[in-house]
Amino acid sequence: MISVGIFNGAGPTGARRRLPRYRLFALIVGICLAVITGSHFSHVSHSQQPSDVQKRSLFDESLRLNNSLVSLPQGLFSRAANEALWARKVASGRGYLLILRAVSGSKQRFYPSHLLTTRTAIWCMMNSNDVVARTVTLETLLSAGWEEDDEQDEAIPADYRKSLGRADGLLNTANEVSQGWDHVNIWTGDDGRERNPTTATMGNIVNGDDGYIIAGGNFGPAETTKDLEDPLPKWMWPTTKWTDIMAVSWGQYAAGKDLKRVYRSAVVMPETKALMESALLKVNKLPGGDLDDLPQWPGVDIVPGRTPTKMPMTPAVEAFMGLLGSSHGAGPAYLVIQYWAIFGKKRINKIKIWRSENKPVANMLLYMESL
């Protein structure tokens, strides 16, 4: 069984290391980076051993993707995701080993190499029947300090919808349930120690009859505690995250209904915005290189095609996997990976990005298909 951790957003970009001089040493460093990347971004148990296919892939000839990991104009690097970040996110979505190689003297570049279908990549887990499920319940959330806000001001969900604009015309407010969860209560962990609330907050809309979720304002402990004079230690943070809250909410208000779409309203996270730009540039859909140039609905569709595991990756597959590895793409993916008992066996098969007529911000729409 593949052990899957709880989705916890995007990880750190990491510091650059001195470039190794010889190929053998480069290979060793690359493998170490892959191990670190896997533990940070693939949500896999440290005790898991590589499969026979993974072991054999170490001796395969190097495989590059589009000859260069990020084939962007140099002037756009400051706005789009840098090479290392892009490589990690594509790796998280698709799965491969990263190899450091020397170019232009002391400069370093990250290239994907060898295996592009590890069992712990998000794409592979969505297609697997061998993933450990999550079982967080309403009682789990309440006992971990969370409290549902059942008197939410209507202005809050209205703001989530405003950013989406008319979108696909399938939003139906009559069937929507807007709900917020706030981490505001003192609670006791399994170790018996009392913990203070983190003030984390999760605001979303559920519509079971029309088959969608609108992810609105979601701020975990890392975000709500970072600017405190005396931030809470991480051992006080709840292990329940957005995926758990949405699974419980769907069970409360849409049990037995078919989830078809997840809207990510008003994407303002700098890292995800940079990844969006990189993905759009990969498929030549952002000539100006800035999300301000993003078209309104229908925006741009990023589709992996019928053979996303085929080598080498096409620009469209690479763009899709980079977005899938972003925090805004991985959250909905892990939702159906970890809670297939609630949602059925599903995978994300298309990602749409657009800017609404109401707000100059980007939105993301992830389409689900049943397997």
Q: What is the pLDDT of residue 2?
A: 52
SS3 31: helix
**pLDDT tens-digit map of 154-194:** 999 999 999 999 899 999 999 999 999 999 999 999 999 99
Return the DSSP state at 320: H
Q: What is the pLDDT of residue 340?
A: 94
Residues in the chain: 371
Exposed e or buried b per residue across 202-225, where buried means at least 16 C-beta atoms within 10 angstroms of its C-beta = bbbbbbbebebbbbbbbbbbeebb
pLDDT band at 99 (very low <50, low <70, confident <90, very high): very low
**Nearby residues of 353 by Cβ (< 8 Å), 6 or more positions away:** 276, 279, 280, 294, 299, 300, 302, 323, 362, 363, 364, 365
pLDDT band at 24 (very low <50, low <70, confident <90, very high): very low
Minimum mean pLDDT range among 39-48, 193-202, 236-245, 350-359: 39-48
Dig out the tokens for 197 from the structure. Answer: 């609330």
pLDDT band at 63 (very low <50, low <70, confident <90, very high): very low
Q: What is the pLDDT of residue 22?
A: 35
Q: What is the pLDDT of residue 79?
A: 54
- pLDDT(271) > 90: yes
Exposed e or buried b per residue across 23-49, where buried means at least 16 C-beta atoms within 10 angstroms of its C-beta = eeebbebbeebbeebbbbbbbbeeeee
- pLDDT(100) > 60: no
In the chain, where the domains are located: 23-126, 138-370
Contact 353, 280 (CB under 8 A): yes
Dig out the tokens for 308 from the structure. Answer: 């996303």
**Nearby residues of 186 by Cβ (< 8 Å), 6 or more positions away:** 145, 194, 195, 196, 197
- pLDDT(78) > 50: no
- Distance CA(260)–CA(368), nearest Å, equals 5
Residue (of 12, 15, 18, 14) closest to 108 by Cα position:
18
| Between 4 and 18, residue with greater pLDDT | 4
Q: What is the pLDDT of residue 95?
A: 61
Minimum mean pLDDT range among 28-32, 140-144, 293-297: 28-32
Q: What is the pLDDT of residue 360?
A: 84
